[in-house]
Amino acid sequence: MEIDTPTESLANTRIDPARPRSIPWRPLLSLLGTIALTIALVLLPLDVASWGALGYLGAFMLTLLSSATVLVPSVALGAALKFGAASTLNPLLVGLVSGIAAGLGESTGYLAGRSGAELAHIQDRPAYRRIAAWVERRGTLTVFVLAAIPLPLIDLAGLAAGAMGMSFVRFELACLAGKITRFVPVALLGHWLRLNGWL
């Protein structure tokens, strides 16, 4: 991977041990917010089947807009669960469409890192430095794994990938693969919950 590396590798940069460790409030609040919004969306009496013409386009747009935020709670997983439960939609296609939309939405984090936006606020945080070191060593694998797990860490990976000059195509392909891996099971879960009368 060809990247624009700084004079000193992020992986070799040591954090001053005398510096007090700050609690990563923003990622923690983002995670808690995502969980709360997902639970709320699942519990709300929303009949996705009645959304008619929205269908897969609705799943795509809602997930895209929700995933386009950086370090902000998202309702994307809850939406995929609800759309997957719709009797008029194929849950596999819902998961695929939602995964593609989520992957495209994460490009905002990459572009923010490329432009330097947001970095001033987080570049000294241990969580960002650790993930940036992972991206530097195993960029594609790191992006894929963080995109696949239901944690808001992919935003940090996107910022780091953009800042380091990782190829946009490479970032997007890894991110798309990870997001599809995440959203297909969620949509299938929604379908299964509906069949068993739990959703």
Q: Are 77 and 150 in contact (CB under 8 A)?
A: yes
Q: What is the pLDDT of residue 33?
A: 59
Distance between CA atoms of residues 73 and 93, nearest Å: 24
Tell me the residue type at 53: A
In-domain check, residue 40:
yes
Q: Are 112 and 187 in contact (CB under 8 A)?
A: no
What 8-state DSSP symbol labels residue 15? P
Mean pLDDT of 60-75: 76
- Domain total of the chain: 1
> With pLDDT > 70 as the criterion, what percentage of the chain qualifies?
69
In-domain check, residue 37:
yes
Residue 5 pLDDT > 60, yes or no? no
Range of the domain at 163: 24-195
In-domain check, residue 51:
yes
In-domain check, residue 10:
no
Chain mean pLDDT for the chain: 78
In-domain check, residue 3:
no
Distance between CA atoms of residues 161 and 119, nearest Å: 12
Distance between CA atoms of residues 132 and 2, nearest Å: 15
In-domain check, residue 190:
yes
Distance between CA atoms of residues 150 and 196, nearest Å: 24
In-domain check, residue 189:
yes
Distance between CA atoms of residues 1 and 6, nearest Å: 15
State pLDDT tens for residues 17-48: 444 444 455 555 655 655 665 565 556 555 55
In-domain check, residue 43:
yes
